[in-house]
Amino acid sequence: MVNASEKIQVKELSVTYDSVPALRSVSFSVLEHEILGIIGPANSGKTTFLRTLNRLSDLNPKLKSSGEVLIDEKDIYKKWNVFQLRKKVGMVFALPSPLPISIFENLAYGPRRDGVRNKTRLSETVERSLKAAFLWDEVKDRLNESAMKLSGGQQQRLCIARTLALEPEVILFDEPCSGLDPISTAMIEDAMRELKKRYTLILVTNNTKQAARVSDRVAFFLMGELVEIDQAQKIFTVPKDKRTEGYVSGRYG
């Protein structure tokens, strides 16, 4: 029987792009209500892994994959409709991408496409999602203004809120703070710590200090291989593999 705390199981996952290996027989589990940090140098397979979890990689016709990815014990290729999967597994990208419409409509867009028409329910979803993304107090009197007027950090928190509006269970973060100042970064990290109470989070980051600050566990990828996965404190203080030690100490990467 699978451990009930395992939200995602990855079994011998291999991915190639145009015959070039991106992931090589990766196997591990992601636990419910944890923040799993994924670190590693460029071209180590981090983003490929992330995009595989909600099948965004399917959009590349040159991609081929083998192995299994299970969410709630269901194979994401055999048991999940891709649209249901992407609702269940939301994603926040490195660059914020607000829609050129009002703040309110950015949040209501997804639920409307999902069939929600009741104005009260939409308003409740907008407020709840903005509060969860630590943005409500800053925009509650500006909901009819264009989202493009928000600062970069606010736009990224808006994108987090937009993901939450669809009520996912897993949220993928691909370098969400790469272009943000330290204050905006701290706000997003605070939001992530709160979000893990309700969601499972996976964070790809090139910032090892950020991974150490917010992650419960950390996985180190190198050249498409999973080198090591362990509690964050152990990865950054007593890693088992010399390659991990070399990366987290800054000797390469």
What is the helix, strand, coil percentage profile of the chain, to 5?
40, 25, 35
Whole-angstrom distance, CA of residue 54 vs CA of residue 237: 32
Say if residues 236 and 248 touch (Cβ distance below 8 Å). yes
Q: What is the pLDDT of residue 253?
A: 64
Whole-angstrom distance, CA of residue 158 vs CA of residue 129: 9
Whole-angstrom distance, CA of residue 142 vs CA of residue 137: 10
Mean pLDDT over 52-81 rounds to 92
Domain ranges of the chain: 6-248
Query: For 209-227, how does the pLDDT look when each residue is reduced to its tens digit (9 = 90+)?
Result: 999 999 999 999 999 999 9
Q: What angle do CA 94, 49, 152 make, to 5 degrees?
A: 5
CA-based nearest residue to 133, from 112, 111, 117, 153: 153
**CATH ID of 6-248, from 3.40.50.300, 3.40.605.10, 3.20.20.150, 3.40.640.10:** 3.40.50.300
Where is 154: in which H helix or E strand?
helix 152-164
Phi, psi torsion values for 60, nearest 5 degrees: -95, 110
Say if residues 98 and 155 touch (Cβ distance below 8 Å). yes
Residue 181 has pLDDT above 60, yes or no: yes
Percent of the chain with pLDDT over 90: 90
Query: For 21-49, how does the pLDDT look when each residue is reduced to its tens digit (9 = 90+)?
Result: 999 999 999 999 999 999 999 999 999 99
What mean pLDDT is reported for the chain?
Answer: 94
Q: What is the pLDDT of residue 179?
A: 85
Q: What is the pLDDT of residue 94?
A: 93
pTM: 0.93
Whole-angstrom distance, CA of residue 224 vs CA of residue 242: 17
Q: What is the pLDDT of residue 250?
A: 85
